[in-house]
Amino acid sequence: MPALLKGRLDPHSATFYLAYWTVSMNRLHHLYDSPSEVFQDPAVERLFDGHHSFEEIAAGLPASPRDLVTAAYLKRMAEPSGSLLHAMLVNDVTCAGWRPGVPVRLYAGRGDKDVAVANSRLCLKELKASGVKATFTDVGNVDHMTSPFRALPRILDWFTGLRGA
């Protein structure tokens, strides 16, 4: 969320994720009574009805988060409280308490503008706090789609090495 609010993510990706997260979290945590409370164009909510393709949703969204949501909702996101804060907190624990019985290796690119590399770093911290043997590898100043291509050979080498262990 900090990366989104500070404009460090690709605006199109950030807009999609913010719209999707807001609509889905409203269904679980009641963030708003009417879509007009959060979206500049209330019709955005209807894009996430299960009948629109990714392409249709993307085409129906504005170019940036600031064009997507109201100024009041942006302020609420920067200073969350109540159900919005609760939704953020319960969704910010992806790796907390997870105790896989095997080592975990995380890979991310610091140049990724779709997903903040801070997410992987937080996951690493949470895994280690749970006693999990975990590592993080920054695959470079590359974008979201290049990151897996940088990581996959390293992952393959690791798994290949396990066969001989």
CB atoms within 10 A of CB 161: 9
Distance CA 15, CA 108 (A): 21
Q: Hey, what domains does the chain have and what are their CATH numbers? A: 2-90 (1.10.260.160), 104-163 (no CATH)
Among residues of the chain, what percentage have pLDDT more than 90? 84
Distance CA 26, CA 30 (A): 4
Model pTM score: 0.82
For residue 116 the two structure tokens come to 């903040």
Degrees to nearest 5, angle at CA 107 with 101 and 112: 145
Residue 98: per-residue pLDDT: 86
What are the DSSP calls for 99-123, one per residue? --SS-EEEEE-TT-SSS-THHHHHH
Distance CA 94, CA 89 (A): 10
Tell me the per-residue pLDDT of 9-31, one tens digit each, with 9 for 90 and over.
Answer: 999 999 999 999 999 999 999 99
Cα dihedral sign for 104, 110, 116, 117? positive
Task: With a cut of 80, say whether residue 164 has pLDDT above it.
Answer: no
Residue 91: per-residue pLDDT: 87
Distance CA 125, CA 113 (A): 21
Task: With a cut of 70, say whether residue 7 has pLDDT above it.
Answer: yes
Residue range 96-104: mean pLDDT, rounded: 89
